[in-house]
Amino acid sequence: MKSIAYQTYFDKVYGCFLGKCVGGTAGGPAEGRKELLDYPLDESILHTALPNDDLDLQILWLEVMEEKGIYFTSEDLADSFYRNVPYGPGEYAYFMKNYARGILPPVSGAFNNRFYCNGMGCPIRSEIWACICPGEPKKTMQYVSMDGHMDHLSDSVWAEYFLAYAEAAAFFYDDTAAIPVLIEEALAQIPAESRIAAALSMTLRLWKAGKDWKFIRSAIIRHFGHPDCTNLYQNMSFTLLALLFGHGDMRETIRLGCAMGYDTDCICATAASLVGIIRGADMLLHKDGFTDTGIKAAVKLRRPDCSIAELAKDVAVVGMTLCDSIPGDVVITEKPDYTPIPTTKPLPAALTFQVDYAGDPVLPLEKKKTVLLTLSANQDISGTISVTAPDGIVGTVSEDTVTIAGGTQKTVSMSFVIAPTCTTLNQENRIAVCFTAEDGTKIPYSFGLNGADIWYCYGPFFHNNFDLTDVSPYIPYGSHMQLPQNLPWEDPVRDYHLNRFADIDIPYLEETTFFSVSNGTLPCDPADARTMPEAVSITEDYFEAGDLYSSTGPAVSYLFRYIDSPEDRPVDVTVGCEGPFKLWINGTFIGENRTVGCWTLENKHFYSIPFHKGRNTILFKLCNPSGKAAFSIIYRIPGKSWIQYTDFASEIIKTEE
C-alpha cells in the first residue's frame, strides 16, 4: 500500500493541468505546420490562454463524473459529447454522425472513420484518468477504453493508455530524470506487435543510441509519417522526443514540442502535462516562473471560465472519492473536508442488451443484414422478444420466446431487409426491441441501423490511345496509327494492346439527360450494357471507384442518385478524391477536380449548395486513372464546423433491365 498526502496530490494535479494549458497554448499557433520549427521559445505566449480541445473534453468528462458519479458509462460520455461540443473536426465529426444515427460506442469509433480513426483526439484526453488514479496506472485502462473507443480505434486507444499509465505512475516521482523510466514502463503495457508500440519503441531506441533529435524526427517521418497533421504515430513519437530531449525542463520541452511541427498543440500540451505532474504546480509557479492563466473553453460547460487551480481542486475531489469508495493500492492522506461526487452503484437491471452488428452497421439494398443481440440476465427470466423497424424495413428475430437463467446470456439473431415496396431508404433507422416478461413487464432497447447510400452506376467507360473504328478488321492496321517521330514505336503500340485510358472531359454519356428525368426512371441504352444503371450500396463515405464494377483498369463511371431532404436547406459539400471528378447537383455544375493526388476527406470544398425539400439530383462523374482511385462525398451543416446532416434519404429508383 502506498500513500500520498493530499497537498502533494493536489500540487501534482495542478501541475498537470497547468502544463496542459501552457503547453497547449504555446503549441496552438503552429498546429498543422509540418516544417521543422527550431525557433527560440516565445516567453510571452506562456502567460496567455487559448481554448483547446485537448483540455475542453477533459473538463467535460469531469462534469459527467460530477453528475453521474463514479459509476458513469461510456454512453454517458458519448451523450455529453454529442450535446455539448459545438465543433466537429476529424474523428469528432464521425463520432457525432454515428451517434446521431444510433451507433453507440465502441462501434461509433470504428465505423466509417478510416481517415481519422488513429488520430490524436483520444490520446490527448489521458490526463483526467491519470489524475483520478494517482499511482495506480492500470486502473486507468477501464476509463481510457470507455473514452477512446467513442471516436477512435485500437492504436489510438492504446496510445491514450500509454500516456495515462505514465502520467498516473508519475504521481510517485519527484525527479524528471525518471521520464525515460516512466516511458519504458508505459510502453510495456501496450501490445508489442501494434504499430504505435513500434513507433514509440523506435523513438526510444534511437534516443538511447545517442542520435540527435532532428535525426530521430526525420526517422519518425520516414517510417511512420502520415499526411494528416493529426495522425497519432508521428505525433506520439514527437511527444516522446520532446520529453526525452527536454530533460524535464518545461520550457525546453514545450519549445521542442513546437519544433516538431504537425499537431503541435497536442505534442506540447501532452509532454508538458507529464513534466507538470513530476514537478508540481508550486515549482512551476514559484521557481520556474509560470502563470496560472485560467482556463478558456469552447464547449458548453456548467462551470464558468476559472483558474487552473480551481479545476485541479475539482479533479482532486473525484480522485479522493474514488480512493475512498473503491479501495486500491494507494491512500490519499491528510485530506481536507470535501463533498464527494455520487457513489451510489446503480442496481443491476433484470435484463441488459448488447448488439453485435456482425460487420458494418449498415442495411444495403437487396441484401439481408444480420445483427446479433445478446441478452444478459441478472435473474431467471422468460418472455418474448419483438422487433420493430421503420416503414419500408422488415425485421425478424430468430427466436421470439426465450428463457434465460440468472447470470447467463442468450444470443438471438435478427435479420433486416428492405421491403420490395420501399421507395426511400433513410440514413437513420432506429430499431426498437422489446422484451416482454411473463408478468407483462416490458424491457425496451433500441439501436441504430444505417441505411446505405443508394447510387446508380453507369460504366465503366474508357477509350484507347488510337481510334481505329473506321479501319476494317481484315487489313493490317499498323499503318493507320499515327506514331510519334524519334520515339520508340513500342510505347504507343503496346499501350494500344495492353492499356486503356479515361478522360474526365469526354462525355461518354449525354450528361444533361440525367436532369431531365421526371418520372423516376433512369435513362439507358439497350444496345450498351454499360448504360444500364446498376444499383450500388455505398456503406461508408469512402469508396473505391474500382469496386463499382468488376472490369479492371482505368475508367470513367457515373454515379447518380436522388437524395430526399426534409426541408429546403444550404449544404456544404466536401469531396475526397484520388482522381478527377465532376459534380452536378440539381442540374447545376458544382465543381471539379482535375488532378491525381492523395485521398483525404477534404480535398475539395463547395459551400452553401441549395438543397430542396424533397428530391435532389446528384450526378458524380468519376475518373479512375489508375484503376484504384478512392472517393468520398459528405454533406455538412454550414457554420457547424464538421457536423454533418444525418437525416437525408436515398430514393430507390426503378431501373430498366
- Rama region for 210: left / alpha / beta (φ>0; ψ in -120 to 50; rest): left
User: Which of 9-23, 58-72, 331-345, 640-654 shows the lowest mean pLDDT across its residues?
Assistant: 640-654
**Is domain 351-451 classified as CATH 1.20.1080.10?**
no
Question: What pLDDT is stored for residue 519 in this prediction?
Answer: 54
Question: Of all helices (H) and strands (E), which one includes residue 36?
Answer: none
Q: At which residue does the C-alpha cell 462525398 appear?
A: 633
Cα-to-chain-centroid distance, residue 505: 35
Q: At which residue does the C-alpha cell 446479433 appear?
A: 372
- The per-residue pLDDT for range 258-283, each reduced to its tens digit, is 999 999 999 999 999 999 999 999 99
| CB contact at 8 A, 133 and 168 | yes
Cα distance between residue 130 and residue 146, in whole Å? 14
Cα distance between residue 78 and residue 287, in whole Å? 40
Where are the domains positioned within the chain?
2-333, 351-451, 454-463+500-651
- Rama region for 639: left / alpha / beta (φ>0; ψ in -120 to 50; rest): left
Please say if the pLDDT value at position 21 is more than 80.
yes
Question: What pLDDT is stored for residue 8 in this prediction?
Answer: 98
Residue type (1 letter), 256: L
Q: Give 183's Cβ-side CA count (13 Å radius).
A: 26
Cell triple for 556: 470513367
Q: Which CATH number fits domain 2-333: 1.10.4080.10, 3.40.50.970, 1.10.645.10, 3.40.50.300?
A: 1.10.4080.10
Cell triple for 51: 481554448
Residue 110 burial (10 A CB sphere; 0-12, 13-18, 19+): buried
CB neighbour list of residue 49: distance below 8 Å, 6 or more residues apart: 21, 25, 293, 294, 295, 296
Please say if the pLDDT value at position 657 is more than 70.
no
- The per-residue pLDDT for range 245-256, each reduced to its tens digit, is 999 999 999 999
CATH classification (class only), 454-463+500-651: mainly beta
CB neighbour list of residue 217: distance below 8 Å, 6 or more residues apart: 36, 238, 241, 260
Cα distance between residue 171 and residue 274, in whole Å? 9
Residue type (1 letter), 318: V
Cα distance between residue 319 and residue 309, in whole Å? 15
| CB contact at 8 A, 386 and 434 | yes
Q: Other CB atoms closer than 10 Å to residue 36's CB: what's the count? A: 13
Question: What pLDDT is stored for residue 520 in this prediction?
Answer: 55
Rounded to the nearest 10 degrees, how much is the dihedral formed by the CA atoms of 530, 532, 537, 542? 40
Please say if the pLDDT value at position 517 is more than 70.
no
Cα distance between residue 579 and residue 597, in whole Å? 7
- Determine the average pLDDT of the residues in 375-401: 94
Diameter of the chain measured on Cα atoms: 100
- pTM > 0.85: yes or no: yes
- The per-residue pLDDT for range 36-95, each reduced to its tens digit, is 999 999 999 999 988 888 899 999 999 999 999 999 999 999 999 999 988 877 899 999
- The per-residue pLDDT for range 279-313, each reduced to its tens digit, is 999 999 999 999 999 998 888 888 877 899 999 99
Nearest to 85 by CA among 61, 118, 102, 104: 61
- The per-residue pLDDT for range 175-222, each reduced to its tens digit, is 999 999 999 999 999 999 999 999 999 999 999 999 999 999 999 999
Question: What pLDDT is stored for residue 214 in this prediction?
Answer: 98
Please say if the pLDDT value at position 510 is more than 70.
yes
Cell triple for 455: 447510387
Question: What pLDDT is stored for residue 112 in this prediction?
Answer: 94
Cα distance between residue 565 and residue 427, in whole Å? 11
> pLDDT grade, residue 547 (50/70/90)?
confident
| CB contact at 8 A, 1 and 331 | yes
Cα distance between residue 82 and residue 66, in whole Å? 18
- Determine the average pLDDT of the residues in 617-636: 92
Average pLDDT, the chain: 93
